[in-house]
Structure 1
Amino acid sequence: MAHLSDSSFPDTPLPDVIPRLGALFEAAGFELSLVGGPVRDLFLGRVSPDLDFTTNARPDDIIKVVRGWCDTYWEIGREFGTIGMRKDGFQIEITTYRADAYDPDSRKPAVAFGERLEDDLFRRDFTMNAMALRLPQMELVDPFGGVRDLHAGQVRTPGAPSTSFSDDPLRMMRAARFASQLNVALAPEVFEAMKDMAERITIISAERVRDELVKLINGKAPADGIDLLVESGLADYVLPEVSALKLEIDEHHRHKDVYQHSLTVLRQACDQETGADGPVPGPDFVLRFAALMHDVGKPATRRFESTGSVSFLHHDVVGAKLAAKRMKALRFDNDTIKAVARLVELHMRFYGYGDAGWSDSAVRRYVNDAGPLLERLHRLTRSDVTTRNRRKAERLAFAYDDLEQRIAKLAEQEELASIRPDLDGSQIMALLGIGPGPVVGRAYRFLLEERMENGPADPQEAEAKLRTWWQDQPESSQAAAED
């Protein structure tokens, strides 16, 4: 491990790979600096396994320097001046100094290489990310006060925030992410620029917005980041369904603040995640995003009843559709969309269990409908309890404990996670003397329903049920007539 010589730095040990790489570039006649997040992280007492460097060497020169030294390298980002590599377990990216030019109406910068480290730092998003460690001298380069802002706990931009956000509007979302992850505040001028320029986020591709949103949701304090998106107006364009949760509170306070409730559910869902060896290791985007979106159907379904109460009938079903629609617009993959939407749809299923109780068949359906999402559904349902009424909270917790115990008991008896009919498709066709077709599907669903309702049956009992069912089917009469 090397140590930093600059007195401005904390006494943080550095992996030897950093000074060794610096010495290689110096010997080849090029500048090299550790830059951005890895430098910021040194002040936070940590060393990232992902190391970013910047240099005046061009991509071809970078390859000449590192070839034979690194374990492997790749050129995927070559057109942007970036060469990636791996060395001693570290993921490394080295990028030529950039002096990008932005078209105000374009989603992407016109890549232009620069000549000076200071110019490269000026084009970066925030002052805390615009610091560099010049190698191999270990000299801190901080022209825009990144250390000052880190100590002050503020997110600032190297230049005017309006210029920075105009260059790359995604930086507005990134500002909210950094503020929430590092538990720091946005400088007043940064927040004002976000509010003034929120609409400009619409020129950013859905894929880039999605990736930044995932990073925010999977971060240390996602509810705080979402709150910044909503308060700045960015969520009006990125997650309008969440902004819409800020329902006007009626003068009689007949319903709770749905928006603040949703942020609380998100926080509690994060707390429900398990370690790496548990059933829902965190951060779990599906659980967290479902927690945020679970009530987005309420604005569209809110009704004030004659009794003075307020209802949100079927908000779970409506919310599932809204969540899926938003995720499709953000170009999420189908599996993630289906998982989040299913959790939103199922999040109300438990309520009523504590009052009326469920039959074994109802418990089976709950498990079957949740499928592989059951562990997440457990955690979402528990997170959805935000009442300040201690008795009510304890009653709901007790009821859900009871439900989980019943699920575990039935699972031991019946293998609930893989419920199937007592006869498979081949057995159905052989027993009824029919070939493949829709009738087999109907028979399969009938037997599955019987399995759900009454539990497992022995083969003879299942065959008898199937024959009785078959007698009432029109195809049975037709087959008898043909015989």
Structure 2
Amino acid sequence: MTQLIDVDRIDPVVRELGDRFRAAGHEISLVGGPVRDLFLGRSSPDLDFTTDARPDDIVAVIASWADAWWEIGRAFGTIGMRRRGLTLEVTTYRAEAYDPDSRKPVVAFGSSLTEDLSRRDFTVNAMALRLPTFDLVDPFGGIRDLRERRLRTPGSPESSFADDPLRMMRAARFASQLMLTVDDDVMAAMRAMADRIDIVSAERVREELVRLIRGRDPRAGIDLLVSTGLADRILPEVSALRLETDEHHRHKDVYEHSLTVLEQAIELESGPDGPVPGPDFVLRFAALMHDVGKPATRRFEAGGAVSFRHHDVVGAKLTERRMRALRFDNDTIKAVVHLVELHMRFYGYGEAGWTDSAVRRYVTDAGDSLERLHRLTRSDVTTRNRRKAERLAFAYDDLEQRIADLADQEELAAIRPDLNGTDIMRILGIPPGPVVGRAYQYLLGLRMDRGPLAVDEAERLLRAWWDEQPR
């Protein structure tokens, strides 16, 4: 079956590695995701191999050949290396299982390639190419499942997920990334075993979630997490968006709305040289989370209206709490939360209009998030009322044009008061302290309201403000 792939696409380093192991009397195969991706026409930056050689034997084979090698994964039977710019990992055949009460896998070395493949997560990853001949080994029908776009496990899904509960998250990631349809028995096992995800470290869950969100169809992955109950454990704020529908249909389905916003935000991502190159996790995750404050703020008003006052503020707090629980880094948390907090700022612009001062504040408050905020705000329009959608689009077009016009006149992205802290202390004859900060904020407000001021005018206004301050 090797005619199914173009062996010439495989880097010569792979064959070299196979030759070395065969010369040493060991088996070795390219395995898992890299093999799957060869059949999908995708490239894999990292290459994984499996062998009957034990870690000491692996080191003996590659030590003089690799440009660099490391043994951080030795306890799991893995030796990593670099060769001519490629990263390769060679792992001893193994069986792996989770202790019910442990986050760490219990590793036992296996004795054959087929046994090793049987312990892998899904059939599409349970394929290997024996080296150096490139003979395909596919005992569980991975090629067939790729053709049929199906996601199955080599054995029972219950056994696979017991070995590593993170595989349930991985199923959702593959639904997004590879656009595979998860088999019914796999979904049933995910529902039955959803609580097992609790033993997996937050860091591992986070990495799978990021890959899911950055996939080709994150809606499919999120839907799978929600429908199986996994989201109740790792993203309960998203599950909670499925507000019960009242009989008079006085509000839209917030969950479906959020998924539509996510899809529309993806469509607005730019190319690699644009301002928001996709796939952009920050924009996508903010789109998914932007309305998570609605369940906690929903109120039924007189006359049948439904309100969600301050859901942006509440949602920002919920988003930050969830991202910290998933161990995201501070910069990513700050970027996502900032967008959630600002996503309602635009509404009302079309009706009331904004002064130049309000436009300046919008740009300044958005800061580095402005381009993402443009896209999130536009994506948040999911109404079926064409006239309303057109009115909102026109209003945002107008706002962007005003931002551009003001940017031509002044450096909006870096608005500062016309006097700095040193100037303030000199003019008022005061030392560093809180009063300098208050004066700075006063001058910044002037800058927002009036635009650039001459230095002498700024000084005059500062002295007038100072004369009014209590001593």
| TM-score normalised by structure 2 residue count | 0.97
Residue in 1 that maps onto 2:407: 411
Q: Is the 8 A contact 2:96 2:163 kept in 1?
A: no
Residue number among 313, 326, 329 corresponding to 2:322 in the alignment? 326
For structure 1, the residue ranges without an aligned partner over 5 or more in a row are: 476-483
State the SS of the aligned residue for 1:83: strand
Provide the rounded CA distance (Å) in 1 between the counterparts of 2:76 and 2:266. Answer: 36
Residue in 2 that maps onto 1:10: 5
Provide the rounded CA distance (Å) in 1 between the counterparts of 2:43 and 2:323. Answer: 34
Which moved further from structure 2: 460-469 or 164-173?
164-173
State the SS of the aligned residue for 1:51: strand
Residue in 2 that maps onto 1:51: 47
Measure how far apart 1:37 and its partner are. Answer: 0.5
Provide the rounded CA distance (Å) in 2 between the counterparts of 1:46 and 1:336. Answer: 28
Provide the rounded CA distance (Å) in 1 between the counterparts of 2:252 and 2:275. Answer: 32
Q: Is the 8 A contact 1:12 1:42 kept in 2?
A: no
Q: How many pairs does the alignment contain?
A: 470
Provide the rounded CA distance (Å) in 2 between the counterparts of 1:343 and 1:184. Answer: 31
Residue in 2 that maps onto 1:194: 190
> What are the residue-to-residue correspondences of 1:224-235 with 2, within 5 Å?
224-235=220-231
For 1:265, the aligned partner's letter is V
Q: Aligned pair in 2 of structure 1 residues 173, 101: CA closer, same or farther (>3 Å)?
A: closer
Residue in 2 that maps onto 1:373: 369
Measure how far apart 1:328 and its partner are. Answer: 1.1
Residue number among 208, 211, 218 corresponding to 1:212 in the alignment? 208
Residue in 1 that maps onto 2:95: 99
For 1:473, the aligned partner's letter is Q
Q: Let me know the Cα RMSD of the aligned residues.
A: 1.3
> What are the residue-to-residue correspondences of 1:275-424 with 2, within 5 Å?
275-424=271-420
Q: Is the 8 A contact 1:127 1:157 kept in 2?
A: yes
> What are the residue-to-residue correspondences of 1:114-125 with 2, within 5 Å?
114-125=110-121
State the SS of the aligned residue for 1:100: strand
Question: Cα deviation per residue 1:378-397 (whole Å; 9 max; x = unaligned)?
Answer: 11001111112222212111
For structure 2, the residue ranges without an aligned partner over 5 or more in a row are: none
Q: Say yes or no: does 1:262 pair with 2:258.
A: yes
| TM-score normalised by structure 1 residue count | 0.95
Residue number among 157, 161, 174 corresponding to 1:161 in the alignment? 157
Provide the rounded CA distance (Å) in 2 between the counterparts of 1:405 and 1:450. Answer: 23
Question: Cα deviation per residue 1:96-138 (whole Å; 9 max; x = unaligned)?
Answer: 1112243122111112222211111111100110110011121
Provide the rounded CA distance (Å) in 2 between the counterparts of 1:330 and 1:68. Answer: 41
Residue number among 116, 123, 130 corresponding to 2:126 in the alignment? 130
Measure how far apart 1:233 and its partner are. Answer: 0.7
Which moved further from structure 2: 403-412 or 55-64?
55-64
Provide the rounded CA distance (Å) in 2 between the counterparts of 1:175 and 1:237. Answer: 16
Q: Is the 8 A contact 2:97 2:164 kept in 1?
A: no
Measure how far apart 1:459 and its partner are. Answer: 0.4
Measure how far apart 1:12 and its partner are. Answer: 5.0
Q: Say yes or no: does 1:147 pair with 2:143.
A: yes
Measure how far apart 1:86 and its partner are. Answer: 2.1
Residue in 2 that maps onto 1:182: 178
State the SS of the aligned residue for 2:129: strand
Q: Say yes or no: does 1:271 pair with 2:286.
A: no
Residue number among 30, 34, 37 corresponding to 1:34 in the alignment? 30
State the SS of the aligned residue for 2:29: strand
Measure how far apart 1:67 and its partner are. Answer: 2.5
Provide the rounded CA distance (Å) in 2 between the counterparts of 1:347 and 1:304. Answer: 22
For 1:149, the aligned partner's letter is D
Provide the rounded CA distance (Å) in 1 between the counterparts of 2:244 and 2:291. Answer: 15
State the SS of the aligned residue for 1:428: helix
Q: Say yes or no: does 1:21 pair with 2:4.
A: no
Q: Is the 8 A contact 1:35 1:131 kept in 2?
A: yes
Provide the rounded CA distance (Å) in 2 between the counterparts of 1:6 and 1:437. Answer: 74
Provide the rounded CA distance (Å) in 1 between the counterparts of 2:7 and 2:187. Answer: 32
Aligned residues: percent identity?
A: 72
Residue in 2 that maps onto 1:75: 71
Question: Cα deviation per residue 1:437-475 (whole Å; 9 max; x = unaligned)?
Answer: 111111111101111111110100000010000101123
Q: Is the 8 A contact 1:35 1:129 kept in 2?
A: yes
Provide the rounded CA distance (Å) in 1 between the counterparts of 2:205 and 2:18. Answer: 35
> What are the residue-to-residue correspondences of 1:456-471 with 2, within 5 Å?
456-471=452-467
Provide the rounded CA distance (Å) in 2 between the counterparts of 1:464 and 1:326. Answer: 48
Residue number among 173, 179, 183 corresponding to 2:169 in the alignment? 173
